[in-house]
């Protein structure tokens, strides 16, 4: 059971690396925004999985909820920024 969780954790972290490639290399700003959102969804799942491993799901669910809420605020701020500033870089 525990080794299954570790396998899932490592796989999800590898997936985060794939997203990270798009965040760092991504030619346009939108690629970076989508990559960041993908990383944050993986991070939310990872936090709940960590809580299941440590058998303290109640605390970790709080963190991941805070994550998800502030990720929304951050995405809105980025969207507002891009709307008013425009995408100058190509």
Partner 1 sequence: MTIEIPLLILLVMTAAGAMLVKDLISSVFILGSYSFALSLVWALLGAVDVAFVEAVVGAGLATVFFLLTLFRTTEKDDVIRRPPVPWAAIIGLPLLGLLLLYGAGDLPAFGDVSSPASTHISPYYLENSVAQTRTPNVVTAVLMDYRSFDTFIETIVIFTAGIACALILRKGGE
Does 56 contact partner 1 by CB under 8 A? Answer: yes
Q: Which member of 4, 52, 55, 63 binds partner 1 (CB under 8 A)?
A: 63
Cβ–Cβ under 8 Å, residues 12 and 49: yes
Instruction: Look up residue 63 and give its two tokens.
Output: 């963190």
Interacting residue with partner 1 among 4, 32, 52, 90 (CB under 8 A) = 32
Q: How far is CA 1 from CA 4, 9, 11, 76, in A?
A: 5, 13, 15, 39
Which residue number, 1 or 85, has a Cβ lying nearer to partner 1?
85
Residue 50 as a binder of partner 1 (CB under 8 A): the answer is yes
Chain center to CA of 7? 19
Out of 1, 4, 57, 85, the only residue in the binding site for partner 1 (CB under 8 A) is 85
């Amino acid at each position: 059971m525990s080794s299954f969780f570790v396998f899932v954790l490592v796989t999800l972290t590898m997936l985060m690396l794939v997203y990270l490639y798009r965040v760092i290399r991504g030619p346009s700003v939108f690629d970076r925004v989508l990559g960041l959102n993908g990383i944050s969804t993986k991070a939310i799942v990872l936090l709940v999985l960590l809580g299941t491993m440590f058998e303290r799901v109640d605390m970790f669910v709080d963190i991941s909820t805070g994550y998800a809420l502030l990720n929304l605020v951050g995405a809105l701020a980025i969207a507002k920024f891009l709307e008013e500033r425009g995408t100058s870089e190509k």
